[in-house]
Structure formats: C-alpha cells, structure tokens
C-alpha cells in the first residue's frame, strides 16, 4: 500500500523510509524522536506508529539494521577465515565498522538488548553464528563459544577505547591495523603457551 506524504511523494515501504530517515539523523548526530523522523521522511506525525509504537521500538529496529550491516561488513569480500591472520582480519573489520559508524555502533551496543524484538534477536544471532563458524574453521580444537566471547571482548573493548578516545590513532586504518596486531598477539601468546 502506498503512503501519500505532505509533499505529494508516494512510496511503497513506509517502514523502510522511516528507518532510512532515522538512520540518517542518527549518523548526522541529530537528536530524533518519532515526530522528527516522520518530518524527515515527509509523512504525517502519526504515520510511524503503524510500525514503531515508541522510540524504543524504532531504536531496536535501527540496532537490528546495524547488526545486519555489521555482519555484511564482516563477510564482505571474504570467505570464512581459514588462518589465524584471516581471523584477525575479521576482528579488525569489527573495529573498522565501529569507527566508521560510531553513532550506530553506540546505539547497537549502548542499550540493553531488546529480547522482545525478533528482528534484533535474529540479527544478533546471525553475527554470533558467523563468528562461531569462523573460529571453528580456524581453531577446531578450541571451544568456539569461549573463544568467540574472548575475541569479541578484545575487539569490542578496543572499539570502545578508540570511540571514547582513551586510545588514539591518526586514522581509522591505523586503528584497524593496531587491532589486527593485538588480536594476533593474543593468539600467538595462546599458541606459545601450548594452546590450539
């Protein structure tokens, strides 16, 4: 069903238009409300309520989109890792995503997960499945859950340290390279200690 806006514009997917408007506002650093998003999308102030009963629901949908975008970034142009170096590349890509899209990253991880949102739960599960498969492929004798948790803690911690300016780097590429080196250093230490 097409929705007519005040500007005379018709689109067939109101939900997608609202998410696009909200994502743009978020990434430009503009505060947003349901009403502001409606205005940005060029629809009536009540139109968003057909899809998002409140701001929390809108933020949860944005977080789900962010998780899908993160998974796409992690998978882009690469097969599942087959070496420790390629696994480190995956961790570095995570930090790169956080630094390129800081407002979205903070929204994704700064609030408690909305377990009532099937969309968000599914998107998070797809990221976790990708990471578990990557680890299992490279380190088959390790516990994929424990190692995924440790690896996530490392790269997420580095992402937050860079975002909070506790760590600085002259560029995103430098921060990504440092993340890769740190990830490899941890895995090398594990190997040197006799782990797999």
- Assess whether 108 and 81 both reside in one domain: yes
- Assess whether 18 and 109 both reside in one domain: no
Orientation of helix 55-75 relative to helix 118-138, angle to 10°:
20
| The domain boundary residue, chosen from 50, 70, 89 | 50
- Assess whether 125 and 146 both reside in one domain: yes
- Assess whether 181 and 89 both reside in one domain: yes
pLDDT at 114: 77
pLDDT at 97: 98
pLDDT at 149: 86
- Assess whether 97 and 118 both reside in one domain: yes
Q: Would you call 1 exposed, middle or buried from its count of C-beta atoms within 10 A (0-12, 13-18, 19+)?
A: exposed
- Assess whether 65 and 45 both reside in one domain: no
- Assess whether 109 and 172 both reside in one domain: yes
CA angle 25, 27, 32 (to 5 degrees): 30
pLDDT at 111: 78
pLDDT at 5: 40
- Assess whether 19 and 112 both reside in one domain: no
Domain hosting residue 80, numbered range: 56-192
Q: Beta partners for 3?
A: 11
Q: With CA atoms as reference, report the closest residue to 47 among 5, 12, 82.
A: 5
- Assess whether 60 and 44 both reside in one domain: no
Q: Beta partners for 10?
A: 4
Cα–Cα dist 191/86, whole Å: 16
- Assess whether 20 and 111 both reside in one domain: no
pTM passes above 0.75: yes
pLDDT at 193: 61
pLDDT at 1: 35
pLDDT at 145: 83
- Weakly modelled stretches of the chain, pLDDT under 50: 1-10
pLDDT at 48: 94
CATH code for the domain in which residue 62 is found: 1.10.357.10
């Amino acid at each position: 069903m097409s929705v007519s806006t005040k500007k005379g514009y018709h689109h067939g997917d109101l939900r997608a238009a609202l998410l696009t408007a909200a994502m743009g506002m978020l990434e430009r650093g503009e505060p947003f409300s349901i009403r502001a998003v409606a205005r940005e999308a060029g629809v009536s102030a009540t139109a968003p309520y057909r899809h998002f009963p409140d701001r929390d629901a809108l933020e949860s949908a944005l977080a789900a989109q962010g998780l899908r975008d993160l998974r796409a970034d992690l998978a882009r142009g690469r097969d599942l890792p087959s070496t420790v170096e390629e696994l480190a590349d995956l961790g570095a890509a995570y930090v790169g995503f956080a630094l390129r899209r800081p407002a979205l990253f903070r929204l994704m991880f700064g609030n408690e997960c909305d377990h009532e949102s099937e969309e968000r739960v599914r998107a998070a599960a797809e990221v976790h499945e990708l990471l578990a498969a990557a680890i299992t492929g490279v380190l088959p004798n390790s516990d994929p859950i424990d190692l995924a948790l440790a690896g996530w803690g490392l790269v997420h911690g580095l992402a937050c340290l860079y975002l909070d300016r506790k760590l600085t780097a002259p560029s995103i590429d430098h921060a990504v390279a440092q993340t890769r080196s740190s990830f490899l250093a941890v895995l090398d230490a594990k190997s040197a200690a006799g782990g797999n």
